[in-house]
Amino acid sequence: MPPKASPTIRSPHVLTRAGRSSVCGASAFSKSVWPASTSAHARVAPGLFPPELVVQVKALACELPSRQGLPLSRWSTPDIARQVVASGLVATISGSTIWRWLHQDAIRPWYHRSWIFPRDPAFAIKANRILDLYARCWNDRPLKQDEFVISADEKTSVQARHRKHPTQLPAPKHPMRVEHEYKRCGAWAYMAALDVHHARVFGRCEATTGIAAFHRLVEQVMTRPPYNDARRVFWIVDNGTSHRGESSVQRLSALFPRLTLVHGPIHASWLNQVEIYFSIVQRKVLAPNDFTSLDHLAERLLDFQSYWESTAKPFQWKFTKADLAAVLAKLSVPLATTA
């Protein structure tokens, strides 16, 4: 009889051999696919699972189901249980037992997350400049009191939806009810600039994005105090068409000599603090979307700026250059290829 062991022993991951698929799509497992020692596991008494089985189940959960010849994109605990039984490792096992084993090592193959691998060759250089500005530093020198950091971007296609039935107010035992059908009343391009260290926001609604629209936002900020008399004003922007490339740097520097345009890396909008403000706008202003007209939507967006500033504090940005270096070092490790 195999040695008695706890069903929740933490064990290191090991690789398992992939099963073969038949022409009809069914999995074709044989004794040669799994180690010979696993044949004894098929007759283990209920609840008495040796550590080797726990390791093999965790390794299986860390593989794609397609590598086992299954037409699945990701695992669930019942799927893993069926696969373990079909492979001959055990005669029977429950999904809850497998969940307990995976939970100990925080293995959750039923979850997935979208991400973009850094492709900008100068990612670290561009990102570090932005992180320095958040720490009030530029070229290894601290910023003066009359130097400011602005984070700017556009939230495109903000629609005004007029619901076909009035929204019902919340009441005891039922929430606010918003009619599903609506009439489209048009859309704005909401452009905003956030003073990172003073929690001031400037915004405007434009019919469309573009160079002219972005210049109007810049003028809106740079022509009022304290920015019109500032030593320097750094504008952090992404690589959108309204402010892309060296031409935008020269164009804005000619219009506003005190302005320094700082581009972030490609596909790194998470470095732009104005995106945090946009997420607040989405939650507090635009959801649920129920506006009678475009003017109604514009009024709500612009009024919210003053409302937010009345209690806002600068965002506590904690991601540092050391954190970035650790992330990039981790991503530099070659990833395992998938089938």
Helices 51-61 and 77-86, interaxial angle, to 10°? Answer: 120
3-state secondary structure (DSSP) of residue 77:
helix
Region 4-20 average pLDDT: 43
Per-residue pLDDT for 11 more than 60? no
- Between 17-21, 104-108, 154-158, 243-247, the lowest mean confidence (pLDDT) is in 17-21
State the CB neighbour count (10 A cutoff) for residue 49. Answer: 24
Q: Are 125 and 318 in contact (CB under 8 A)?
A: no
Tokens 């009619």 appear where? 179
* pLDDT tens per residue across span 260-273: 999 999 989 899 99
pLDDT above 60: residue 181: yes
**pLDDT band for position 215 (50/70/90)?**
very high
Query: Token pair for residue 328?
Result: 């990039």
Query: How many CB atoms neighbour CB 231 within 10 A?
Result: 11
Cα–Cα distance for residue pair 83/1, rounded to 1 Å: 24
Higher-pLDDT residue of 65 and 25 is: 65
Backbone phi, psi, residue 92, to 5°: -155, 145
Confidence of residue 14 (pLDDT cuts 50, 70, 90): very low
190 vs 160: CA distance, rounded Å: 12
> What are the start-end ranges of the H helices in 19-142?
51-61, 77-86, 95-104, 123-134
pLDDT at 132 > cutoff 50: yes
pLDDT of residue 47: 56
CATH of 123-328, one of 1.10.150.20, 3.50.50.60, 3.75.10.10, 3.30.420.10: 3.30.420.10
Instruction: Note the pLDDT of residue 18.
Output: 42
The residues spanned by each domain of the chain are: 20-104, 123-328
What pLDDT digit, counting tens, does each position of 275-317 carry?
999 999 999 999 999 999 999 999 999 999 999 999 999 999 9
User: What are the b/e assignments for 115-143, b being 16+ CB within 10 Å?
Assistant: eeebebeebbebbbbbbbbbeeebeeeeb
pLDDT of residue 333: 63
Question: What's the alpha-carbon Rg for the chain, to the nearest Å?
Answer: 28
Q: By mean pLDDT, which of 49-63, 235-249, 321-335 is the weakest?
A: 321-335
What phi and psi values does residue 292 have, to the nearest 5 degrees? -80, -20
pLDDT of residue 42: 43
Judged against a pLDDT cut of 80, whether residue 37 lies above it is answered with: no
As beta bridge partners, residue 234 has 149, 260
Q: Which residue has the higher pLDDT, 31 or 132?
A: 132
Q: Is the separation of the CB atoms in 160 and 141 below 8 Å?
A: no
By C-alpha distance, which of 24, 23, 50, 27 is closest to 38?
50
On the question of pLDDT at 255 being above 50, the answer is: yes
